């Protein structure tokens, strides 16, 4: 009888832990979509197009923008909270940390026409190496913006270029792990991908997608909106 009682007690504890993890996971995966990107990537224009359905003039900001997007789920409607994170490097990390809780997905906007490969790769690396985003397997969309411009690179070209840049970055970031600076920002220097193999996005546990888009019309923005809708 004592053995049965012990087994029942253990089972109750395991069930409780399982339910706690499920509830905790649901609390973390809220309805917030973060928009990140370098300055002049078209990030804020994309945000405003989704929020208002119109193209708008924008300027560089050091403060986040917040809005909402109605997601139709059959006969019901879900409201997605959109947050446009400032592109300036000095404020981006700080503001990004403030909006981590409740994040459902991240849209990383890339200027396809004037691609700054190294800088974009560093931003992608920082997000993938972040313990919170990686630990919770937060979906990431790499939105290859400005596809309406003649100099725009395709998503296939951008993906290949970023994989090479991130592979090179791993060497310098791995070296930083041995330095004193790693104690200040361990996430940024964490190794991503598979040891001993060239970096590929397929090696990352987080769901990662690419999409070609432009902020000129709702049609050109459809790939991004569809990706967001599919998260709900």
Give the model's pLDDT for residue 201: 97
Residue 19 lies in a domain: no
For 135, the token pair is 């630990």
Enclosing domain of residue 184? 31-229
Q: How confident is the model at residue 173 (pLDDT cuts 50, 70, 90)?
A: confident
CATH of the domain at 54: 3.40.50.300
Residue 26 lies in a domain: no
Residue 223 lies in a domain: yes
Number of structural domains (the chain) is 1
**The overall pTM is greater than 0.85:** no
Residue 77 lies in a domain: yes
Please write the tens of the pLDDT for every residue from 116-157. Answer: 999 999 999 999 999 999 999 999 999 999 999 999 999 999
Residue 137 lies in a domain: yes
Q: Is the pLDDT of residue 67 over 50?
A: yes
DSSP code per residue over 91-145: HHHHHHHHT-TTEEEEEEEEESSS--HHHHHHHHHHHHH-HHHHHTT--EEEEEE
DSSP 216: T
Residue 9 lies in a domain: no
Please write the tens of the pLDDT for every residue from 74-93. Answer: 888 999 999 999 988 888 99
Residue 4 lies in a domain: no
Report the share of the chain in percent with pLDDT over 90.
67
Tell me which H or E stretch contains 52: helix 43-52
Residue 10 lies in a domain: no
Q: Which residues pair with 109 in a beta bridge?
A: 37, 143
- Could you tell me how many residues make up the chain? 232
């Amino acid at each position: 009888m004592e053995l049965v009682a012990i087994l029942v007690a253990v089972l109750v504890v395991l069930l409780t832990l399982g339910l706690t993890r499920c509830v905790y996971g649901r609390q973390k995966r809220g309805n917030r979509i973060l928009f990140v990107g370098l300055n002049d990537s078209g990030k804020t224009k994309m945000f405003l197009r989704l929020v208002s359905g119109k193209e708008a003039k924008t300027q560089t900001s050091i403060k986040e923008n917040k809005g909402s997007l109605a997601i139709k789920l059959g006969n019901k409607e879900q409201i997605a909270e959109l947050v446009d994170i400032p592109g300036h490097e000095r404020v981006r990390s700080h503001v990004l940390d403030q909006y981590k809780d409740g994040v459902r997905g991240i849209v990383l906007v890339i200027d396809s026409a004037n691609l700054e490969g190294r800088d974009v790769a560093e931003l992608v690396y920082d997000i993938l190496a972040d313990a919170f985003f990686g630990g919770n397997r937060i979906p990431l969309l790499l939105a290859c913006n400005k596809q309406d411009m003649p100099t725009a690179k395709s998503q296939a070209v951008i993906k290949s270029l970023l994989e090479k840049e991130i592979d090179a970055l791993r060497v310098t970031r791995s070296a930083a792990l041995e330095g004193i600076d790693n104690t200040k920002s361990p996430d940024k220097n964490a190794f991503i991908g598979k040891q001993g193999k060239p970096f590929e996005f397929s090696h990352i546990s987080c769901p990662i997608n690419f999409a070609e888009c432009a902020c000129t019309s709702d049609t050109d923005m459809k790939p991004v909106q569809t990706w967001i809708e599919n998260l709900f």
